[in-house]
């Protein structure tokens, strides 16, 4: 996989997250045509947020795995509130039978699991050491210009 940093007006970033969330009580409701609808809606909802990109998506019967790139201008918690909230409303509208099982329109478990997907630690350590050597060389060159 090639690394491609993205840009905002004043930042360069690569913010990828592995997110797992599940229906309340881990009921196995994500089956049959609901799966296709959930996949379609996750792509659509992520597309509505500027710069958010779905990299990988896997819907199991009782949970969803999502690898997504989210710009640093969005907090992961706010994004998840948006995604779970809108997705629940759309599912309740499309599948009224879910309202019987999930009274009060609370479809998803309260929390979620999130982990960053990024550069490995060893690569970052090498870059920091290399950058330090590069800066030392630049300082030596800069001093010679003014001496």
Annotated active-site residue in 25, 43, 95, 127:
127
Residue 138 falls inside a structural domain: no
Q: Is the pLDDT of residue 40 over 90?
A: yes
Domain count of the fold of the chain: 1
Containing structural domain, residue 10: 6-118
| Percent of the chain with pLDDT strictly greater than 70 | 88
Residue 135 falls inside a structural domain: no
Residue 144 falls inside a structural domain: no
Residue 129 falls inside a structural domain: no
Residue 12 falls inside a structural domain: yes
What pLDDT sits at residue 91?
Answer: 96
Residue 145 falls inside a structural domain: no
Burial-class residue 104 by CB neighbours within 10 Å (0-12, 13-18, 19+). Answer: exposed
What pLDDT sits at residue 3?
Answer: 63
CATH of the domain at 100: 3.30.70.1290
112 is catalytic: no
- Please name every residue paired with 20 in a beta bridge, in sequence order, or none if there are none: 65, 113
pTM of the model: 0.81
Residue 136 falls inside a structural domain: no
User: Over the stretch 78-124, which tens digit does the pLDDT of each residue have?
Assistant: 999 999 999 999 999 999 999 888 888 899 999 999 999 877 777 77
Residue 39 falls inside a structural domain: yes
pLDDT bucket at 145, cuts 50 / 70 / 90: low
């Amino acid at each position: 996989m090639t690394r491609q940093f993205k840009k905002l007006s004043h930042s360069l970033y690569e913010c990828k997250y592995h997110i797992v969330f599940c229906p309340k009580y881990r009921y196995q409701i994500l089956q049959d045509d609901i799966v296709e609808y959930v996949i379609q809606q996750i792509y659509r909802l992520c597309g509505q947020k500027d710069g958010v990109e779905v990299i990988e998506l896997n819907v199991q019967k009782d949970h969803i795995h999502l690898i997504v790139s989210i710009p640093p201008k969005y907090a992961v918690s706010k994004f998840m509130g948006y995604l779970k909230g809108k997705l629940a409303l759309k599912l309740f509208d499309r599948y009224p039978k879910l309202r019987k099982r999930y009274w009060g329109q609370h479809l998803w478990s309260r929390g979620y699991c999130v982990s960053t997907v990024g550069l490995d630690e060893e690569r970052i350590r090498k870059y920091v050491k290399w950058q330090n050597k590069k800066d030392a060389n630049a300082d030596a060159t800069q001093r010679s210009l003014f001496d």
